[in-house]
Amino acid sequence: MTFTESITTCLAKKYATFTGRASRSEFWWFMLFGIVIGLVLRFTFPIDDTLLTSDNVPMTNYIANVIVSLAFLLPNIGVMVRRLHDTGRSGWWWLLNFVPCVGLIVLIVFWCGESEEDNVYGPRPTK
């Protein structure tokens, strides 16, 4: 799956879909897209800085970051769960995100794993 196909799939076709499977390329391209958008929002300062917080960070940056984070919440969780399904694991493993340090490391290992052939979550993704 290409970069644009991944973004289109996660944001338009499967926005809040927690069933089915996601290929490794779909998952990692979408994660890269989210990281790039986050970095752009973090380091781009608007021209109009009349609304400043106490630490001189433009408030409009903060608001934009919150809006984009909320918009990406369901697609992120959905693609993570579908990727776990692709490796033959239940989507409930996603809750390891709440275990400090170790949880994310375990999930990254799971997400990097090979796709299984057809399993209970559906046929193997073609792309």
pLDDT in tens, 13-27: 999 999 999 999 999
Q: Is residue 103 in a domain?
A: yes
What are the helix (H) ranges across 1-127?
3-8, 24-43, 59-86, 102-112
Residue 11: pLDDT over 80: yes
Contact 29, 6 (CB under 8 A): yes
Contact 93, 105 (CB under 8 A): no
The pairs formed by 39-46 with CB atoms below 8 angstroms and a separation of 24 or more are 41/65, 41/68
pLDDT in tens, 32-47: 999 999 888 777 755 4
Question: What confidence category does residue 58 fall into, taking pLDDT thresholds of 50, 70 and 90?
Answer: low
Question: What confidence category does residue 125 fall into, taking pLDDT thresholds of 50, 70 and 90?
Answer: confident
Mean pLDDT of the chain: 86
Q: Is residue 127 in a domain?
A: no
Q: Is residue 100 in a domain?
A: yes
pTM score, whole prediction: 0.83
Q: Is residue 123 in a domain?
A: no
Contact 51, 59 (CB under 8 A): yes
* Count of domains for the chain: 1
Burial class (CB in 10 A: 0-12, 13-18, 19+), 106: middle
Tokens linked to 121: 């979550």
Q: Is residue 77 in a domain?
A: yes
Q: Is residue 60 in a domain?
A: yes
